[in-house]
Amino acid sequence: MTESTVNATISPDGHLAILSRAEVNKLLDTSQGGLYQLLHNCSLAVLNCGNSSDDGKELLERYSDFSIKVIQEERGIQIAVKGAPANAFVDGKMIKGIKEHLFSVLRDIIYLNDEINDNPKFDLEQSDGITNAVFHILRNANIISQQIEPKLVVCWGGHSISREEYTYTKDVGYQIGLRDMNICTGCGPGAMKGPMKGATIGHSKQRISNGHYIGITEPGIIAAESPNPIVNDLVIMPDIEKRLEAFVRVGHGIIVFPGGAGTAEEILYLLGILLHPDNSEIPFPLIFTGPKFAENYFKQINQFIGDTLGFEAQQRYKIIIDDTARVAREMKAGIKQVQEFRKSINDAYYFNWSLKISSEFQQPFIPTHKNMAALKLQKKQAPHQLAANLRRVFSGIVAGNVKDEGIRTIEQHGLFEITGDIDIMEPVDHLLTSFVKQQRMKLPSNSAYIPCYKIVK
């Protein structure tokens, strides 16, 4: 079936109206560093808003005629798109929220290329340099400012969830909005869209006109999780590790809804950080929640964490089932503790500088077959280090499931092989098998899920 497409020329509204000739040339030159391809892929994902597919490779193939060009004129710049998904337009005019996201993509790609990459100011081989880069990217996107109050709730969860679970995420978002808290998610559909949608209603009822709905993504996942238009501040981070660090640096608490491999990756990332001895006294409210339907899901998650990371890890979160108001009240109380703690140590409200994030959680993990097979999955290591390696397992599976490059790698070289101690591999295998049975690995379709991995015990 031929997809309905639109050709259009768009001008920015107030920001990023001017680029240098050198910047424009870099964006148009397909032979230099892949900058055009990065702009092309991220822009197509933004324009694909509302589509149910979570297959990055399939998206690029479906809109193979799509192209984007930055046009420099006397009074500024314009963006010309050809073969763009028609659902990004209403009566031939691009939806305003999508238009804003398109220029956010352009802003972040230019900033990363000009200011972060190959800049001696940011030593991306060192932990402090990476954190500094994350801060500057967020500041350039106007996400952080000195006036920010501690009330930003990060929501994690799957883009492939049931209708009942989606409605629950909206109800939680509504309770958060009623209590004058803001929302930050991965910006896609499902558990990323629901809390924002609910919060807009809660804010409206409280006559809060400046509600903040932040979406943080990265080039590898954006095609599978196209930003929803409720997001009023979109940020493109360079990779998944910097994306995850951005969440925990700007968020004041985190709520986790049901999800699949990506949600497991996020949980392991945060628990690994909280289990580091340097972070033992730092308050960070973390709540796992869902409707009654999802109770067994969280029992499985809790069991997996206990079997792999131990009892201490289980003490770093609360599980609340089918009680949206309690979730919001607990988060509000937890954020109050965060505020008091940061005030006592003179740490900023807008960026969690005091949180120790070690390099194993910051250095980009490339999920090749060699790297996946070499992961250290043994109990004889500190829990936070085991969490780092388990996080990489699920990161690789996400890549093999939905990311364009990961899908192509599996097609060329076969399944990832994941090897480790049997008392680690059995809980991993059990959890992944449950995700498959519950259709949490990819959006439900007519075809059965085809694994991109093989567990070797």
Do residue 145 and residue 293 come from a single domain?
yes
Q: Is 181 left (phi over 0), alpha (psi -120 to 50) or beta?
A: beta
Where is 153: in which H helix or E strand? strand 152-156
Do residue 77 and residue 142 come from a single domain?
no
Do residue 77 and residue 156 come from a single domain?
no
Cα separation of 43 and 268, whole Å?
30
Structural domain ending residue among the three candidates 83, 103, 119: 119
pLDDT tens sequence across 147-178: 788 999 999 999 878 899 999 999 999 999 99
Cα separation of 420 and 431, whole Å?
15
Which residues pair with residue 5 across a beta bridge?
85
Sign of CA dihedral 289, 290, 294, 295: positive
pLDDT tens sequence across 1-51: 456 898 999 887 765 555 666 777 777 666 655 678 888 888 888 898 766
Q: Tell me how crowded residue 370 is: count the other CB atoms within 10 A of its CB.
A: 9
Do residue 104 and residue 194 come from a single domain?
no
Structural domain ending residue among the three candidates 102, 119, 136: 119
Do residue 396 and residue 434 come from a single domain?
yes
Phi, psi values for residue 53, rounded to 5°? -70, 140
Q: pLDDT tens, position by position, for the chain (457 residues)?
A: 456 898 999 887 765 555 666 777 777 666 655 678 888 888 888 898 766 555 656 777 788 889 888 887 766 678 899 999 998 999 989 998 899 898 899 889 888 888 898 888 888 999 999 999 999 999 999 898 877 889 999 999 998 788 999 999 999 999 999 999 999 999 888 899 999 999 999 999 999 999 999 999 998 888 777 888 899 999 999 999 999 999 999 999 999 999 998 999 999 999 999 999 999 999 999 999 999 999 999 999 999 999 999 999 999 999 999 999 999 999 999 999 999 999 999 999 999 999 999 999 999 999 999 999 999 999 899 999 999 999 999 999 988 887 878 888 999 999 999 999 999 999 999 999 998 888 887 654 556 778 888 888 6
Confirm if 177 and 147 have CB atoms less than 8 A apart: no
Q: Is 119 helix (H, G, I), strand (E, B) or coil?
A: coil
Contacts of 419 (CB under 8 A, 6+ apart): 373, 375, 377, 425, 456
CA dihedral 24, 25, 27, 29 (to 10 degrees): 160
Where is 56: in which H helix or E strand? helix 56-62
Do residue 15 and residue 32 come from a single domain?
yes
54: containing domain? 5-119
Do residue 198 and residue 76 come from a single domain?
no
Do residue 15 and residue 107 come from a single domain?
yes
The 213-217 sheet, strands edge to edge: 233-236, 213-217, 182-185, 152-156, 253-256, 286-290, 318-321
Do residue 113 and residue 31 come from a single domain?
yes
- How many domains are there within the chain? 2
Q: Is 394 helix (H, G, I), strand (E, B) or coil?
A: helix
Structural domain ending residue among the three candidates 77, 99, 119: 119
Do residue 247 and residue 389 come from a single domain?
yes
**What distances in angstroms separate CA 305 from CA 280, 387, 447, one per listed residue?**
18, 9, 31
Cα separation of 11 and 26, whole Å?
19
Q: Which residues of 88-105 are buried (b: 16+ CB within 10 A; e: fewer)?
A: bbeeeebbebbbbbbbbb
Q: Give the chain's end-to-end CA distance (angstroms, integer).
A: 44
Do residue 113 and residue 201 come from a single domain?
no
Phi, psi values for residue 85, rounded to 5°? -55, 130
Q: Is 190 left (phi over 0), alpha (psi -120 to 50) or beta?
A: left
pTM: 0.90
166, exposed or middle or buried, with CB in 10 Å at 0-12, 13-18, 19+?
buried
Do residue 169 and residue 104 come from a single domain?
no
CATH label of the domain that carries residue 438: 3.40.50.450
CATH label of the domain that carries residue 14: 3.30.1850.10
Please count the helices (runs of H) and the strands (runs of E) in the chain.
16, 14
Cα separation of 51 and 334, whole Å?
36
